[in-house]
A and B are shown apart, each in its own frame.
Chain A
């Protein structure tokens, strides 16, 4: 089914099942993203890909990576509101993962060099976008890592934050990580072959106890 709508006043033609982001990219219109990777289903976690959707005389911001195309909508990718929200996203990120050089670089490109939000862990690189665990699940077919929920903070780690024998050490998670955090986590997650085995023992004992 063909769907016609407008991005930045340009008429584009999409089909059912495409997202706004995909359509824009297909037509060569660039929208910045972080938690989006072509290999997995989008999650809309980082909010960097926000665009402004105008209908009549009201408008709203939507995450383009998960927003399905609709007949007749009008999308603007570079408005005042959009760049405000992007700067805000970068400020948030500078507070969650201040140690990531990549994030600092991207933020600088948007003129964001510091943050008004409190920095709880100056050494953190992970923005908790969950790409690594999504790729592990959807591409590799495993669940070797997860976004471990610790109160308000989520943290990426192997279950129990120890190497698991589930991980096949394929490195897919490292390749998709937008912040470079997984590179530092990786050795801990894949573990040494000898470490894997003791973990195995512990883990299955745990399984019985909880079952």
Chain B
């Protein structure tokens, strides 16, 4: 659907709010003469029903297929316009809103005519972007085939039951086909949940008997390829290692965290000093033990204080059971003073009935286990007391390990800096599938009790059902702004998959094995840092491509006067901060021109370079708060990219302060104002870039190198900053060495590029002196560079008048 842009521009008066401050007639006049525009109109309130009616008329009459509204916040108004004009085939990406009210009208004391001039610049940027847009048609997700439940966790059973009841086909991959084994595992992973045993057993039976499900066992997952709707799972049978492949439409992962021993320093021997799962096993095997049983909730000591309450609750449930079955036994729960006892009023009554003792100890002194005794410091009198025990039960150390970890890794759920699997990035669209909700259930997500795990499973089951139903009815729209891979350009280097935590980049089976080069549109957040990282520009964010951004930046930068600057804000941080600054009537330097992007991480370094080529003397990128990127590390990745541009600017003798990265909290617009003001001051101090031929050539060289030099692009992507990681990625561990090496590569490639450009443009053989003169560079460096180009065979050397000359 590659139709020509037919653009309509609507200028809002917003009652008096815009009209009184910007001379919209000047703006209108300028666009009426513009051949790129098919329609331009001023409306009092384009966003209200009367205005919408007028726009609808113009859209139909002039067959407009792109709409630019110059009014207020896109965040708030876009949805309304999209809904109103969806029937006219104007879809996401084809409507743009420029915030004149918030970015121009209220923020300065310029005259209405000057504000009109600024408005024209901003709108021109939007027009350039709209002209570059190649809109896609609306596609719908096709998801059918069975739902695979992977990972052997307990939550998988409740997910399966949910699917079975909803009459959805599923298969359950388990390591055992015996219901009894499942129940045993329940006691292991969720100690204290004995009262749930019968219901769980029924649940297992219902699932195993279901006509909609197949139990695959004993199998384990060894590989996965494809995307939502069309997965291929590779399973390995446990005893004979045969490999089978299964197709699945959707996946639910059900993973439980391992319950480990806190170690010998706690005297753990599994016989008298045991962890909770072992006590559960003992009860299952031999019945409730007799004697004095002490549950020490030692999570504070093992560094997992956040799970203390969970452990205490399990301990309490086990204690209740023991008291019921063996009234001669005593049960005592020993806990850290900082922990709140996790009992409700009703549970406290039960506790009294069973006479279970809760003993708090002074957390400053670590209790010590001896044979048959535990010493602790009493909270009220600070006296050291001994508590005798026949059985000592410790909290388990919860961690992600073993088969659950393997499965999580294969499914791409593991990220280095997390202990568990939950919550590494926020969702950006409510309709987004995301990995967490429909995908992951159980205590490996985050330690929880059985009820919680089963409810997660049930929720995963019902959400997946809902998704498949929607797809069957043809209602599951694929999001429009997601990445797609151009298979002709992609070499399968895997860079994109490695750095994008959204997990949207999947593996595709090819003749040479699996290659990471399909994008799952149901998972992709549309952040686009992967696209900006691709050394070959093989990934494209459709309906919001790099070309579009480049066009907008170029158009905006091209209109800036020498002392004006460009700011790019992300829609989650910088842009709404600017919007709110406008809304609150904060004043700031009007020379800054703002445009928005979905994520700061989607700005390819070549876009930054392009701004300088076209006329900007300063560029600031304003993202979200640190660690609050809605996509994958956008701000951090942008940091690395800005840094490369800084290095290149420095190499050419420009100040590295011409480009800067910043972040803004949308709730603190006054900080945004400080940010741009201070940036503008520092750029003003440096002064504008003199547009001499030499400088222009250099800027062009920067742009070309960063856009097309795959060596630099590769190096950059392989080392994108992620602050939570301790080390740089890739081979370079030493910060200084890394920096020096990278700079050296950039220098080398950059000089090579400039040399080749001169040779190409001159179209005649040149000698060393000519080159030194035209590049204004160190002679030895040029000679070295020439030598390596000649030995590579990129250029040739011959002799003229007994002097070496170089040419293609």
Contacts and interface: CB of A to CB of B under 8 A. Distances in A.
Contacts of A106: none
Nearest to A140: B430
A165 B423 contact: yes
B586 interface: no
17 contacts: A15-B50, A23-B50, A25-B44, A26-B44, A26-B45, A38-B48, A139-B79, A142-B430, A169-B630, A170-B572, A171-B572, A175-B75, A175-B76, A176-B76, A183-B667, A197-B446, A205-B452
B399 interface: no
B177 interface: no
A39 B572 contact: no
B193 to A, nearest CB: 13
For chain A, the bracket of interface size reads: 35 or more
A185 to B, nearest CB: 10
B630 A208 contact: no
Interface of A: 14-15, 17-19, 22-23, 25-28, 30, 37-39, 135, 138-142, 165, 168-172, 174-176, 183, 186-187, 193-194, 196-197, 200-201, 204-205, 207-209
B451 A205 contact: yes
B701 to A, nearest CB: 40
B800 interface: no
Contact of B422 (A27, A187, A197): A197
A176 B667 CA distance: 12
B681 to A, nearest CB: 27
A129 to B, nearest CB: 16
Contact of A193 (B53, B73, B423, B452): B423
B15 A25 contact: yes
Given A168-B428, A196-B423, A204-B459, A39 B44 contact: no
A201 B310 CA distance: 12
B44 A139 contact: no
B463 to A, nearest CB: 12
B572 A204 contact: no
| Smallest CB-CB A-B distances: 9 pairs | A208-B455, A141-B430, A26-B50, A171-B666, A197-B423, A39-B76, A38-B47, A22-B48, A205-B452
Nearest to B583: A175
Contacts of A17: 49
Nearest to B83: A138
B456 interface: yes
Interface residues of B, number: 44
Contacts of A207: 455, 459
Given A28-B44, A201-B452, A208-B454, A135 B49 contact: no
Contacts of A18: 49-50, 53
Contacts of B449: 205
Label chain A's interface by main secondary structure: helix
Given A38-B47, A38-B80, A172 B75 contact: yes
Interface in B400-429: 422-423, 426-429
Given A18-B50, A168-B427, A193-B627, A204 B452 contact: yes
A62 B34 CA distance: 45
Contact of B426 (A25, A187, A193, A204): A193
A196 B426 CA distance: 10
A39 B50 contact: no
B805 interface: no
A97 to B, nearest CB: 18
Nearest to B577: A171
A28 B13 CA distance: 10
A149 to B, nearest CB: 24
Given A26-B45, A39-B79, A204 B630 contact: no
A38 B81 CA distance: 11
A57 to B, nearest CB: 30
Contacts of A22: 45, 48-50
Contacts of B184: none
B45 A25 contact: yes
Contact of B667 (A28, A171, A209): A171
A14 to B, nearest CB: 7
B51 interface: yes
B579 interface: yes
A186 B79 contact: no
B77 interface: yes
Contact of A169 (B49, B454, B628): B628
Given A25-B44, A197-B446, A175 B423 contact: no
Interface in B567-594: 572, 576, 579-580, 583
Nearest to A41: B80
Given A139-B76, A204-B456, A208-B458, 9 more contacts: A15-B49, A38-B47, A168-B427, A170-B75, A171-B75, A171-B667, A175-B579, A186-B667, A208-B454
A66 to B, nearest CB: 12
Chain B CB count within 10 A is highest, among A26, A138, A165, A205, for A26
A203 B628 CA distance: 22
Contacts of B29: none
B431 interface: yes
